[in-house]
Amino acid sequence: MSRTLSAPVTVAFDYTRSVGPVLGRFLTGLRDGHFIGARLSDGRVVVPPPEFDPVTHQATADFVDLPETGTVTSWTWVSEPVAGQPFDRPFAFALVTLDGATSPILHAVDVTSAAEVSTGMRVRARWAAERTGAITDVVFVPDALGVPTSEVEAAAQPARSLEQLTGIVTPVSLDYTYAASPEESAFFQGLSEGRILGQRCPACEKVYVPPRPACPVDGVPTVEEIELPDVGTVTTFCIVNVPFLGQKITPPYVSAYILLDGADIALQHLILEIPVEEVRMGLRVKAVWKPREEWGTTIENISHFAPTGEPDADFDTYKHHL
């Protein structure tokens, strides 16, 4: 059995990329349905165009229109595609040297078996009907397939945009399995039973909550389990007035460091059931738990902390926790 709690996490964002003049030219070409390469200072014709010449380091300025036909100079068979690739069934990635270019571009070739692709084979671009100015606007197909002439002619003389593309959106979405450390896992398991479990560092004897895989002072795991009360003192806090992505509570609300009685480090949580302007350092608070049927292995079992009504703690009792 795993000693850790784990859960899936997706890290996803649609990145807005400004592309600058060189890539902008190349991507605009793709949107228009044709390839634009660069002639470098050493005479090589390269596509996609490097933004800066590898020899002179000057910004690329000499652009070359390239045809949509070329030759496979290397290939591989993607037997198990990953998410986001041009096809969700097996296909070929290839290095394709376009006619007139001196070096290849990496792209996908639409074939249904490895037997249909080989080094030296002729390929032709197949443009997407709806193009945005992205490398995904095109794939290659075997030239022998015989793309209808009308389509070839249409692609051969594409309309040229007057306006150059300046930005693209590239979605990046990655799936991970996040695991908490064994010590933190014990803490989250405890929460699922309504208990707050800390652990004492065997070296400095400080009580950490949550427990830690490594005491940050001594570099050893915290070990001895200490069950802590759900009552403590607000050491310091801020009043959040600003909305942010993923926020679960409507501002204004108080985010506070709460030093549970018996712990040597403060936890962060919310303070509710008191006007925000009345929250203060030294305020005594108690956890308000969600209904038991909503509990999971998460700190969110505690809905928030609320004032106990006790007198405030003396500054001297918590000032070394600021």
Site for other proteins in 83-122 (CB under 8 A): 83-86, 93-95, 101, 103-108, 114, 119
Among 110, 116, 143, 218, binds other proteins (CB under 8 A): 218
Binding part of the chain for other proteins, among 123-131, 155-163, 266-274, 283-291 by CB under 8 A, reads 266-274
CA dihedral 78, 82, 87, 90 (to 10 degrees): 30
Q: 223: closest CA among 236, 237, 212, 235?
A: 212
* DSSP character string of 282-317: T-EEEEEEPPGGG--SSGGGEEEEEE--SPPPPGGG
Site for other proteins in 194-213 (CB under 8 A): 201, 204, 206-208, 212-213
190 to 147, 185, 299, 307: CA distances (angstroms): 65, 8, 10, 23
Among 112, 268, 308, 317, binds other proteins (CB under 8 A): 268
Binding part of the chain for other proteins, among 68-76, 123-131, 142-150, 286-294 by CB under 8 A, reads 68-76
Show the CA angle centred on residue 75, arms to residues 70 and 81, nearest 5°.
120
The reply on whether position 159 binds other proteins by CB under 8 A is no
The three-state secondary structure class of 31 is helix
Place of tokens 């197909």: 141
DSSP bridge pairs for 52 = 59
Q: Which is nearer to other proteins, 146 or 255 (CB)?
A: 255
Among 148, 149, 244, 291, binds other proteins (CB under 8 A): 244
Among 4, 63, 110, 288, binds other proteins (CB under 8 A): 4
Q: Which is nearer to other proteins, 23 or 155 (CB)?
A: 23
CA dihedral 314, 320, 321, 322 (to 10 degrees): 90
The reply on whether position 226 binds other proteins by CB under 8 A is no
The reply on whether position 320 binds other proteins by CB under 8 A is yes
